[in-house]
Structure 1
Amino acid sequence: MQLIDIGLNLTHDSFDHDRDAVLERARAAGVVRMVVTGASREHSPRALALARAHPGVLFATAGVHPHHAVEYTAECDAQMRELHRHPEVVAVGECGLDYFRDFSPRPAQRKAFERQLEIAVDTGKPLFLHQRDAHADFMAIMRQFEGRIGPAVVHCFTGSREELFDYLDHDWHIGITGWLCDERRGQHLRGIVGQIPANRLMVETDAPYLLPRSLRPMPKDRRNEPAFLPHIVEDLARCRGEDPAVTAAATTATASAFFRLPSGPAAG
């Protein structure tokens, strides 16, 4: 299997001591390309730096997560736009709304989200989206940009069947993580992932977060990493009633097209 991890927080400090080894383990596991998530003013430039250091293997997003929405000033907007001038930055985000944590005031979240949607309009790049406990406001804002934005993926989807079909009705893509492997929280997902069309489905680890609970043996540090993506794909394939090779090939083709990645095997 050759896989693409579409969401990896490789700039996280838990990777500082062994980042190269993490990438080598990913390669050995068949994860040939990875998109490093940029989710703040601090980490988006770092994501770009990693992508430039590993051409053809790592790519980056640039954006501001709703947790950090208060930092989305005019200066921040200019910084994000500058980052998006680089071809290694393949998507706008991680951006969206999070009313579960409310780490930033909701008006600030909505404003930062709208500003980043404008970047997507201006650059034509796809969107890497976050939504948690904010579905109505999320949909209302996205509808304001209907017809002006390009492809979008709702990353780390954990929502309801109704939310899933709202997204699919707009032809948005869905990112599935190790949340699916949690016998408690992920049970509802197991019954609906089979309804995601293959050309709308992608996979991600969201590492170092969301370590699959069904992974054996469990790493002692409980840190997730891209080498565990095949485990997620195998679980996803079981839920979809298909061979893991089919799921792998489909998600890789979908991710390559969505992020407009270079064709052929990864370089380096």
Structure 2
Amino acid sequence: MQLIDIGANLTHESFDHDRDAVIARARAAGVARMVVTGASREHSPKALELAHAHPGVLYATAGVHPHHATEYTDECDAEMRALLAHDEVVAVGECGLDYFRDFSPRPAQRRAFERQLQIAVDLAAKGVVKPLFLHQRDAHADFVAIMRNFEGRIGPAVVHCFTGTREELFDCLDHDWHIGITGWLCDERRGQHLREIVGNIPANRLMVETDAPYLLPRSLKPAPKDRRNEPMFLPHIVEELARDRGETVEATVAATSATAASFFRLPPL
């Protein structure tokens, strides 16, 4: 098993006491590579530091999550552009819109999102293609409208931690975006609708992620006492995903890993 976890928040403080052990456990479980999510001014540089410390195993993204949109200043924009000049930083984001929490005002979210999309445009104009690592919750219409304004000028995009409806899924696929599936699938309270639609995602658009330390799969037994999610639990998510797609685990592993390696332009193992 050579899985790729495309979204793990390994800079989170809950990993400060055992981060190396977490990475080792993931690799022992068959998670060969992990993309460390950069989602703020504070954590995006830390994601790059981790990628430098674990070459060939960890990669990073650089961006500002909509929860932190108010911190997106000109200085912040310059910082993100500097981070994205590094080869180990393989995607722009996490960026997007979140109208579920509204931790930042919606106008600020839209401005921060547009500025980060512009970074991808500017990189592409220089011949540097960095895909987009996107967040969307309860903001589908505005999200699609903003993305449409940048069509034809940006590279590939993945809607990470997809939790939307069937209609939203097909809308994303119609725009040629990739889809990231997490342990939300394993939540009998909120994820049942996902089980019914994941089979519609083409293999070359599907990727898997834990979003650790968040979204511990509720079907994982026994659950860790601290309720912290880790990349080593990605195989459990993939097993359930394969069942819902009506394919073998081996097929899901091979397809999602090949898609992720191509999407993020990772070197061969």
TM-score category (smaller protein): over 0.9
Q: Residue 27 of structure 2 aligns with which residue?
A: 27
Unaligned runs of 5+ in 1: none
Q: Residue 144 of structure 2 aligns with which residue?
A: 139
Structure 1 runs (4+) deviating above 3 angstroms are: none
In structure 2, distance between residues paired with 1:210 and 1:11: 16
Alignment RMSD, CA only?
0.4
Q: Residue 6 of structure 1 aligns with which residue?
A: 6
Q: Deviations over 1:189-218 (max 9, x none)?
A: 000000000000000000000000000111
Q: Deviations over 1:6-31 (max 9, x none)?
A: 00000000000000000010010000
Q: Residue 170 of structure 2 aligns with which residue?
A: 165
1:219 and 2:224 equivalent?
A: yes
Q: Deviations over 1:34-71 (max 9, x none)?
A: 00000000000000000010000000000000000000
In structure 2, distance between residues paired with 1:215 and 1:94: 27
Q: Residue 184 of structure 1 aligns with which residue?
A: 189
Q: Residue 54 of structure 1 aligns with which residue?
A: 54
In structure 2, distance between residues paired with 1:61 and 1:203: 16
Q: Residue 196 of structure 1 aligns with which residue?
A: 201
In structure 2, distance between residues paired with 1:228 and 1:122: 37
1:206 and 2:202 equivalent?
A: no
Q: Residue 128 of structure 1 aligns with which residue?
A: 133
- The Cα of 1:100 is off from its aligned counterpart by 0.4
Q: Residue 86 of structure 1 aligns with which residue?
A: 86
In structure 2, distance between residues paired with 1:116 and 1:177: 24
- The Cα of 1:184 is off from its aligned counterpart by 1.2
1:234 and 2:239 equivalent?
A: yes
Q: Indicate which of 242, 250, 253 corresponds to 1:245.
A: 250
In structure 1, distance between residues paired with 2:100 and 2:219: 25
State the one-letter code of the partner of 2:105: P
- The Cα of 1:122 is off from its aligned counterpart by 1.5
Q: Secondary structure at the match of 1:254?
A: helix
- The Cα of 1:74 is off from its aligned counterpart by 0.3
Q: Secondary structure at the match of 1:191?
A: helix
Q: Residue 155 of structure 1 aligns with which residue?
A: 160
Q: Deviations over 1:135-193 (max 9, x none)?
A: 01000000000000110000000000010001100110000000000111000000000
Instruction: Using the TM superposition, name which of 61-70 and 116-125 deviates more.
Output: 116-125
Map 1:62-81; keep pairs closer than 5 Å.
Answer: 62-81=62-81
In structure 2, distance between residues paired with 1:85 and 1:125: 10
Map 1:257-268; keep pairs closer than 5 Å.
Answer: 257-263=262-268, 265=269
Q: Residue 114 of structure 2 aligns with which residue?
A: 114
- The Cα of 1:114 is off from its aligned counterpart by 0.2
In structure 2, distance between residues paired with 1:53 and 1:241: 38
In structure 2, distance between residues paired with 1:188 and 1:120: 32
**TM-score normalized by the length of structure 1:** 0.98
Q: Secondary structure at the match of 2:243?
A: helix
Unaligned runs of 5+ in 2: 124-128
In structure 2, distance between residues paired with 1:181 and 1:255: 21
Q: How many residues align?
A: 264
